[in-house]
Amino acid sequence: MTFKVLNKEIIYQGCPVVIRQAEEHFEYITCIDNQIYSSSIIARKSIMQRLLGQDYTDKQVQDITNYVIKLAEATIDTVLGIKQPTV
């Protein structure tokens, strides 16, 4: 399985975050207080994309990447004990 890094390293609350993709698996990796944290999601292509052998569109990749970044930010906030403002 080949991984593709989808973003340059971003820093959130002083923690580096990298997003990578391997086929339908999208994963974030971050370091919080010298410990590595990661999680992943599976984002399936549409039925038509799968039938036609098409890749994700740029917009789909960007939307998935943004979602995974939000997951990483939530993990960092939770581990660091940062409370988010309620809406």
The model's pLDDT over 19-45, given as tens digits with 9 standing for 90+, comes to 999 999 999 999 999 999 999 999 999
CB 29 within 8 A of CB 36: yes
Contact between 44 and 5 (Cβ < 8 Å): no
49-83 pLDDT per residue, tens: 999 999 999 999 999 999 999 999 999 999 999 87
CA–CA gap between residue 81 and residue 12 (Å, rounded):
14
DSSP assignment, residue 23? Answer: T
Q: Rounded to whole angstroms, how far apart are CA atoms 71 and 61?
A: 15
Global pTM reads: 0.85
Q: How far apart are CA 44 and CA 54, in angstroms?
A: 12
| Domain boundaries along the sequence of the chain | 4-80
